[in-house]
Structure 1
Amino acid sequence: MKPFPVLLPLLWLGQPVSASAEAPPLQLAAEHAPHHNPADYLVSEKLDGVRAYWNGHRLISRGGHVFAAPDWFVAGFPATPLDGELWLGRGRFDALSAAVRRLEPVAREWRAIRFMVFDLPASTLPFEGRLAALQSLFREVNTPYLHLLEQHRVADAAALAARLDKVTAEGGEGLMLRHRRGRYVPGRNQELLKLKHFQDAEATVLAVLPGQGKYAGMMGALLVETPDGRRFKLGTGFSDDERSHPPLPGVVVTYRYRGETTTGLPRFASFWRIRDDMP
C-alpha cells in the first residue's frame, strides 16, 4: 500500500445526503457538573444515534442535509417540528450511519430504524410542558417508526449515578438531563446536559500522518484541530480498516478523552467516529 504523505492539503469531502436545507435551530447539550441538582431535571438515555430534525415535511440533519427517508417511513409523522434521533439500537451506530446516508434508501434498512423524539422545538413552554404536549400528540400518532423517548425523575446524585451505571452496563452511551423548567434555546443550552463516564468532543482533520512498524503503509495518526484552534495528534481508537481508509482532511471527527492537560489538550484522546451529522 502506498504510504500516506506527511501532510495532505485541506479539502472538504462532505456531500449532501440527498439535498441541502438550512441547518435547523437545534439546541446542544452542555456537560453535567456536580453542582447541578438532579431533582431539577428529567433524565433519559443518551442514544447512540444520528441527530435529526423533523420540520413537518422532511427529516434534516444537524448540518442541514436532508435524509433520503422513504415516503412510507415519514407518512404518519405530524406536521409540527420534532427534535430527536434516528436510532437502530444500542451499539449499532455504524450500520445506522451507513443506512441514513445512502442517496437511495434501502427499504429493509429503514424498516428497522426508529425516529426517537425527545423535544418539541417550536414550543415556548418549559420542558415539562413540552413533554406533556408531546405525550398528547403521540396519543394521536399511528406509525411504528416514531417513538417518544422515555423521561424519568431522579431524586439525587446517588440515584443519577446508579441510573448511569445501569444504562452503561446495558450498552448505552450515557444520560441526558433536561431541566424541568428549561426553555428550548437553539445553540449550547446550559439547561440541557449530557452525562457519561467519558468526555467527548469534535475536531477537524488537518492531515493524515503515516504509520510505522506494524502500521507501515497505513495511517499512524491524524493531525486534528479543535474549534478553538488547538492542534494535537489522534493516534488511538482506530481499527485496521479505519487505518487503511482514514478520515481525510476536512472531515470532522469525534474523539473520547478524560480531562485536559495543563495546556488545555485532551488527556488520553482516542478516535471514536466521524461526527454523527456528517454525510
Structure 2
Amino acid sequence: MHALSSIIARLLSTALLCFFLGRPSIATAATPPAAPPLMLANIYHPGITLADYWISEKLDGVRGYWDGEKLLTRGGQRINAPHWFTANWPKTALDGELWAGRQQFSRAVSTVRRETPDDAAWRRMRFMVFDLPAHPGTFEQRLPALQDMLAKLAVPWVQPVEQFKLGDHATLQRLLQQTVKQGGEGLMLHLGASLYRTQRSDDLLKVKTHEDAEAAVIGHLPGNGKYQGMLGALLVETPDGRRFKLGSGLSDLQRRRPPPLGSVVTYRFRGLNDSGIPRFASFMRVYEP
C-alpha cells in the first residue's frame, strides 16, 4: 500500500508540474485554460549587439495579459480585478506585469489570485505595460504607440515600463548589480527590430544574477538541530526526472508549513554540476502560473 501511494503521489506531482509548465502529461485532472499568445524570453548571453536592444527593469510581479476585454494570467486563468481597475481600458491587447513594487511578489500574487477582489489591495497594484501584442510593427514602432495610448488613457495605475539604451555590456552588468542591490529582480532586453512573435527567442532576453526553474515537491525531509521537528529540506523533481534536495531559502514559517507534496516550486541556482544537478539551489517561492 505504501509503494502504491508513493507511485500515485509521484504521478500526481509530475502531472501538476507538466500542467503548470505547459508540457504534455500522462494524466491531467481537467483541461487547462488556453494560455494567451505571449512573447517569451531567453537568457542573456554574450555575443549580442547591445545597441540593438532596449533595456528595462525586470519586474517581480504577475504577468498579466489584457485581451481587450479581460485580464488573464500567463497560464490563461482569468484575473478578477475590480471593475474600476480595468474601466475604459483600450479594446486591444496589452502585455505587462501586475506589480506591487520591488520585493512585493507575495503581495501581488495574493491580490491577483483572490476570487473576490480585495479593493484595498488592488489600490496598491499597478499594471506595468511593456508591449502591444496586436500591433503589426517592430518594437521600435510599438513603443511610442504604447506610450501614446497610455498617456491618453491617463490612469495612474496603468503605466508604460521605462525603456532605455546602454552603450556597452560592462555598463549593463553594473546596472544589473545596482538594480539587484536595490531590491530589483534583474533586467530585460528587447530587440528594437523585433515583431511581437509568440515564441521564445533572443528578441527578448532576461538578465539576472542567477538562473531559476521549477520542480515538483515529491518529499519532505525532516530537519535536525534548530530545525528539529520541522522541515529540513524539500525533495524535488524536475520535469526531466532529476531529483535533488532544496533546503536553503526556506523561512521558519515555510519549514513549519511546507509546500505540500505535488505542489510546484521555483528555485534559483548557478549552473549545473557534472551530474546535471543545479548548483547552489535555493528555494524562492511556490510557483504561480
* TM, length-normalised to structure 1: 0.89
Which amino acid letter does the alignment assign opposite residue 162 of structure 1? R
> What is residue 241 of structure 1 aligned with on the other side?
253
User: Could you tell me how far apart the structure 2 residues matched to 1:246 and 1:38 are?
Assistant: 42
| Secondary structure at 1:159 match in 2 | helix
| Residue 127 in structure 1 maps to residue 139 in structure 2 | yes
- Of residues 204, 212, 230, the one that matches 1:192 is 204
String of CA shifts for 1:85-105, please: whole Å, max 9, x gaps.
100101111112111111111
Contact persistence 1:252–1:275 (CA under 8 A) = yes
- Of residues 86, 93, 113, the one that matches 1:74 is 86
> What is residue 9 of structure 1 aligned with on the other side?
9
| Secondary structure at 1:96 match in 2 | helix
Higher RCO, 1 vs 2 (CA within 8 Å, ≥6 residues apart): 1
User: Could you tell me how far apart the structure 1 residues matched to 2:262 and 2:110 are?
Assistant: 19
Contact persistence 1:113–1:145 (CA under 8 A) = yes
> What is residue 103 of structure 2 aligned with on the other side?
91
Q: How does 1:93-112 map to 2 (within 5 A)?
A: 93-112=105-124
String of CA shifts for 1:36-85, please: whole Å, max 9, x gaps.
22111000000011111111111111111111100011103211111111
> What is residue 55 of structure 2 aligned with on the other side?
43
* Alignment coverage as a number of residue pairs: 268
Which structure shows the bigger proportion of residues in helix conformation?
A: 2
- Of residues 236, 240, 248, the one that matches 1:224 is 236
Percent identity reads 51
Question: More displaced, 145-154 or 227-236?
Answer: 227-236
> What is residue 27 of structure 2 aligned with on the other side?
none
Pairwise CA distance, 1:211: 2.5
Pairwise CA distance, 1:21: 4.2
- Of residues 148, 162, 181, the one that matches 1:169 is 181
Which structure shows the bigger proportion of residues in strand conformation?
A: 1
* TM, length-normalised to structure 2: 0.86
Q: CA RMSD in A?
A: 2.1
> What is residue 269 of structure 1 aligned with on the other side?
281
List runs of 5+ in structure 2 lacking aligned partners.
18-31
Question: More displaced, 145-154 or 124-133?
Answer: 124-133
User: Could you tell me how far apart the structure 2 residues matched to 1:192 and 1:8 are?
Assistant: 39
| Secondary structure at 2:284 match in 1 | strand
User: Could you tell me how far apart the structure 2 residues matched to 1:249 and 1:84 are?
Assistant: 32
Contact persistence 1:86–1:115 (CA under 8 A) = yes
User: Could you tell me how far apart the structure 2 residues matched to 1:99 and 1:138 are?
Assistant: 23
User: Could you tell me how far apart the structure 2 residues matched to 1:243 and 1:187 are?
Assistant: 37
Aligned structure 1 segments of 4 or more residues deviating by more than 4 angstroms: 5-8, 10-14
Question: More displaced, 200-209 or 77-86?
Answer: 200-209
User: Could you tell me how far apart the structure 2 residues matched to 1:219 and 1:9 are?
Assistant: 19
Pairwise CA distance, 1:7: 9.3
Which amino acid letter does the alignment assign opposite residue 77 of structure 1? W
Which amino acid letter does the alignment assign opposite residue 219 of structure 2? A
Contact persistence 1:39–1:155 (CA under 8 A) = yes
| Secondary structure at 2:175 match in 1 | helix
Pairwise CA distance, 1:6: 9.3
Contact persistence 1:49–1:276 (CA under 8 A) = no
